[in-house]
Amino acid sequence: MKIDSALAARLAPWGFDNTQLDTFITRLAQAATSNAVTGELTPPAPEDVRALPEPGSEAHRRLVTLGKDAIAAKKVGVVILAGGMATRFGGVVKAVVPVLEDRTFLKLKLDDVRQAGPDVPVYVMSSFATHERLRQHVEELGAKKVEVFAQFVSLRLTPQGELFKESDGDVSPYASGHGDLTFALRKSGLLAKFRAAGGTLLMMSNVDNLGATLDPAVIGAHLERGVALSAEVVRKAKGDKGGAPARLNGTPQIIEGFRFPADFEQDSIPVFNTNTFVMDAAAIDRDFPLPFYKVEKKVDGATAVQFERLVGELTAFLPSTFLEVPREGAESRFLPAKDPEELAGRLSTIRLVADSNRWSR
């Protein structure tokens, strides 16, 4: 699809790919296909999922030592996902929303990293909708060793494959999913910069998961397993939906919830993915054939189609393991706050975690 030069110039800073948009249009014109995986799908093997040892145990102390040594050696960096479309907190960029008094989501995440040391680099993935406000907030906080880079953008389509127009007649851009992470990090030059400085591991989490702290025990657990990627999982609770670890044709990986075949008993897998990972920087320094999935949205009351990719699907291409972490109480590593209501319900636990200083153990 040919777009005019003014629109192309507007989208270019955000990594817009016209050829990619054409592939989305082509897919819309094809007969609908299922997103369900094919092949032999089984629950994870016992050795695929390991629990993080209890704090105070000898095993936990050993992992803490491994993690602290790696952080002290300046081998560890942090990635915070703060992109998306800034829609769930009334159009305000979520990362700058105050959570505990004047401490915003991003400040709480950065305060945690600084408990580990002043030299841990932090890379914040933004989107066209959040980038400038995030950069401004980093400056407001006076944060050091923090860099903001943008994920990519594409254009929404109508179900018929035309450019979707919003009520003002303009096109409708969208951020193309957190699966952009490795591609955008490489394009920005920040991954090369991190590796050149001796960095070897990146811990990634969502900005709204305030339980996903830079815990040296988690870094140590990754190092002990010797894999390219460690994904945190938690025990399922009633009503939980989302991706979960499984084996597809013998390979351990995260299968997104919508990709499980209808006849697969998802309750046979007792844990699910929290979207918190530790990744080897060298292993992710290449392109991956991550698939894009069709998503329908309601925009101004009309159906719009967009295609997104998911970072968890890196597990299909990298040797991966799954670390079961606590879900409840002050040790919780899973405290998502997707909207104001969920944030209000988690505030007491978030305060416990924020005050616990896991780094000091």
Express each pLDDT in 38-60 by its tens digit. 999 999 999 999 999 999 999 99
Q: How far is CA 314 from CA 75, 179, 254, 309, 357, in A?
A: 21, 8, 8, 10, 31
Per-residue confidence (pLDDT) for residue 361, from 0 to 100: 60
- What Rg, from alpha-carbon coordinates, does the chain have? 20
Question: What is the rounded distance in angstroms from the CA atom of residue 55 to the CA atom of residue 310?
Answer: 32
The fold of 44-354 is Spore Coat Polysaccharide Biosynthesis Protein SpsA; Chain A (3.90.550)
Nearest Cα neighbor of 125 from 193, 184, 56 is 184
Give phi and psi for 229, each to the nearest 5: -145, 135
Per-residue confidence (pLDDT) for residue 64, from 0 to 100: 96
**Angle subtended by helix axes 105-116 and 340-356, to nearest 10:** 20
Per-residue confidence (pLDDT) for residue 359, from 0 to 100: 60
Kindly give, in sequence order, each residue whose CB lies less than 8 Å from that of residue 273, ignoring residues fewer than 6 positions away: 231, 232, 233, 242, 243, 244, 245, 254, 312
Express each pLDDT in 223-276 by its tens digit. 999 999 999 999 998 878 789 999 999 999 999 999 999 999 998 999 999 999
Q: How far is CA 15 from CA 131, 156, 217, 300, 353, in A?
A: 13, 15, 36, 26, 37
Kindly give, in sequence order, each residue whose CB lies less than 8 Å from that of residue 211, ignoring residues fewer than 6 positions away: 332, 333, 334, 335, 349, 350, 353
Question: What is the rounded distance in angstroms from the CA atom of residue 210 to the CA atom of residue 82?
Answer: 13
Question: What is the rounded distance in angstroms from the CA atom of residue 86 to the CA atom of residue 309?
Answer: 18
- Tens of each residue's pLDDT in the chain, 361 residues: 888 889 999 999 999 999 999 999 999 988 777 889 999 999 999 999 999 999 999 999 999 999 999 999 999 999 999 998 877 676 789 999 999 999 999 999 999 999 988 899 999 999 999 999 999 999 999 999 999 999 999 999 999 999 999 989 999 999 999 999 999 999 999 999 999 999 999 999 999 999 999 999 999 999 999 999 999 999 998 878 789 999 999 999 999 999 999 999 998 999 999 999 999 999 999 999 999 999 999 998 999 999 999 999 999 999 999 999 999 988 999 999 999 999 999 999 999 888 876 665 6
Question: What is the rounded distance in angstroms from the CA atom of residue 213 to the CA atom of residue 116?
Answer: 10
Name 320's bridge partners: 229
CB 215 within 8 A of CB 121: no
CB 134 within 8 A of CB 82: yes
Residue with tokens 């010797």: 226
CB 257 within 8 A of CB 243: yes
318 burial type by CB count under 10 A (0-12 exposed, 13-18 middle, 19+ buried) = middle
Q: How far is CA 354 from CA 111, 128, 241, 275, 319, in A?
A: 9, 30, 27, 20, 32
Tokens encoding 337: 């706050």
User: DSSP of 272-336, one letter per residue?
Assistant: EEEEEEEEETTTTSS---PPPEEEEEEETTEEEEEEE--GGGGGGTS-EEEEE---SGGG-S--B
Domain ranges of the chain: 44-354
C-beta neighbour count of 260 within 10 angstroms: 19
Tokens encoding 303: 């159906």
Q: Report the Cα 320 to chain-centroid distance in Å.
A: 16
Q: 27-40: string of b/e by CB count within 10 Å (b at 16+)?
A: bbeeeeeeeebeee
Nearest Cα neighbor of 233 from 272, 197, 196, 283 is 272
pTM, two decimal places: 0.96
Question: What is the rounded distance in angstroms from the CA atom of residue 138 to the CA atom of residue 111?
Answer: 12
Give phi and psi for 82, each to the nearest 5: -140, 35
